[in-house]
Structure 1
Amino acid sequence: MPLSKLICNTKPTVPAKHERRKDARPGELLAAALDLFVEKGFAATKSEEVARRAGVSKGTLFLYFASKEELFKAVVRENISGRFLEWNAEFEAFEGSTADMLRYALAMWWARLGSSKASGITKLMLSEADNFPELAVFYQHEVIQPARDLIRRILQRGVDRGEFAPVDMKYGVYTVLAPLLFLQLLMHSKIACLDNADASPLVPEEFLAVQVQTILDGLRVRPASPPTDEGLESL
């Protein structure tokens, strides 16, 4: 589906009021909170709105989450940071080349997270982190640092195996993160909904394939240059 349709045709849904199992309520509250946080931002989302969209009372919400801040943290853990255990396990079990690992990592990031509503949390944090320093520290610890560490492990694997040329890991990590961040911001921006007759829709999978190949071309080990004639004469 074109990115513009993915963004512009999304409409919030309000669950019908009916009797539900008590153990299903936390998941319903987290889903409703994710929708509202991404649609409206953290500051503008009210606890009573989350409860109403989930079809429960505000009091019921606070039985499970002590505050809006704790609700937000639970949303992040449910949709993003809770997945790093799985992703690191995949890193340990991967048997192919590191180039294939990097291609797989970016493709799976899009399939599992980037294409989901949860990717809008990144835009929220970029917009509101200054106003909520406690949440900024939480997000740094729960999402940003684990993501950097995993990408660093992938790049270091390639260097250690002689597949990649040595690279400054601090900035190498950002080279991989940059296209992911771009896609997340574009996906949750109204500019993606504007019609442009001169431009074909951006297809995320194709965009990421081009980006990862560009990164791999920059990382590949190049053969040593042969000595010049001047160098031979000096021997």
Structure 2
Amino acid sequence: MTSALELALVRGFSALTVDEVARSANASKTTLMRFFGGRRGLIEATLALEMELVVGPLEESSADLVRFGAAFQQIIFSERCLGLLRFVLHESATDAGLGEAFRGTVLAGVRTMIGPAVSEALGLPLDDPDVVSASERYLGDLVGVELLRALSGDRPDAARLEVLRGRAVRQLG
């Protein structure tokens, strides 16, 4: 999977072929097809791996909204994550499957990770639809317009990020 991830980040998911990944991984195309079911499955598994590598460390801070917010901002504004976001934004314009896979893997994964803390903060059961929308709002509040600045090459300002963290937590309470 790391072969597919590195190839995708360099060449783009739209140019990624199962044959190319098989060669890079020293595996057969048949083996990859058996495990992933085709190009779409390979893309989803690649995004899941990136999720694990980039976002996985957030799990240990997911019970504390303030600590999670700081860790999330550190990761989302890292060069690797910004590069992946730029890539997904660009490629999903021509590959709808990539956007779908990203939303289903990365966004859903982060939302699920923070759901219990949001549920507790709101005093609502985890399966309440308001918890899902509040989780998404919280994540959006953490990045605010700073994400647009960062995607366009500007370095995020630590003081503005701290303000966003405080606002995101207050919005829940």
Residue pair 1:103, 1:212 contacting (<8 A) in 2 also: yes
Which structure carries more relative contact order (alpha carbon 8 Å, separation 6+)? 1
* Distance 1:174-1:149 versus aligned 2 partners, 3 A rule: same
Amino acid at match of 2:7: A
- The residue correspondences of 1:1-235 to structure 2 (distance < 5 A) are 27=2, 29=3, 32-33=6-7, 35-36=9-10, 41-43=12-14, 45=15, 60-61=23-24, 63-64=26-27, 66=32, 72-81=43-52, 87-88=58-59, 90-91=61-62, 94=63, 101-160=64-123, 168-178=130-140, 179-180=142-143, 182-190=145-153, 192=154, 202-203=156-157, 205-220=158-173
Residue pair 1:152, 1:173 contacting (<8 A) in 2 also: yes
TM-score (norm 1): 0.50
Aligned length: 158
1:137-156 per-residue CA deviation (whole Å, 9 max, x = no partner) reads 32232112122222332211
* Distance 1:34-1:42 versus aligned 2 partners, 3 A rule: closer
* Distance 1:218-1:122 versus aligned 2 partners, 3 A rule: same
CA distance in 2, matches of 1:59, 1:149: 32
* Bigger share in helix: 2
What is the Cα deviation at residue 79 of structure 1? 2.2
5+ residue gaps, structure 1, are: 1-25, 52-57, 95-100, 162-166, 193-200, 221-235
5+ residue gaps, structure 2, are: 33-37
- Aligned-residue identity in percent: 13
Residue pair 1:34, 1:118 contacting (<8 A) in 2 also: no
Q: CA-atom RMSD, angstroms?
A: 3.8
What is the Cα deviation at residue 211 of structure 1? 0.6
